[in-house]
Structure 1
Amino acid sequence: MEPNKNRDEEAAAVARIADAAREVQVASAALEGHFQDTAEGAAPPLMLARLTAATSELQSARDAFDALLADKGLPE
């Protein structure tokens, strides 16, 4: 059962990275769309906060995946 558990953990970690990357993409596209639609010089704070949170989650997910691989002695 240990190999299945390892695969499940790795699959969950990769899925977390993929979800976070999609959220970064969506937040970035929304911000880009804002600037294309308006000549306003500053981005709305909520859009910036969403992008910041998404980027932070992506970094956290990648760090967790790296730690998982390091615990198993696999190259990062």
Structure 2
Amino acid sequence: MEHTERKSEEAAAVERVANAAREVQMASQALEQQFNIRPDDSGRTLPLARLTAAIAELQSARDALDALLARKSLH
């Protein structure tokens, strides 16, 4: 793999992590707003599911970046 392709792959992986982290932050804020708007338990399922999915994507993105960097260090 060429040097520029590796850099591009790394940049894409870092961008994925950054986007996932932003989504976790937005989902967390949305859930917090639901708690502030409705102190009872109603209406939290969707924001909680969004936060759960965002956290899973962030973990996946971080794992992929770690794997990419580990492969790079072997070369």
> What 5-or-longer segments of structure 1 have no aligned partner?
none
After the TM superposition, which parts of structure 1 deviate over 3 Å for at least 4 consecutive aligned residues? Answer: none
Q: What is the correspondence of 1:27-38 to structure 2 with a 5 Å cutoff?
A: 27-38=27-38
| Runs of 5+ consecutive residues of structure 2 not aligned to the other structure | none
TM-score, length basis structure 2 = 0.90
What's the CA shift for 1:37? 1.6
Question: What per-residue deviation string (whole Å, max 9, x for no partner) do you get for residues 46-73 of structure 1?
Answer: 1111100000000000000000000011
- Let me know the Cα RMSD of the aligned residues: 1.6
Any conservation in 2 of the 1:20–1:61 contact (CA below 8 Å)?
Answer: yes
In 1, the alpha carbon distance for the partners of 2:45 and 2:62 equals: 26
* Identity in percent: 61
Q: How does 1:1-76 map to 2 (within 5 A)?
A: 2-41=2-41, 44-73=44-73
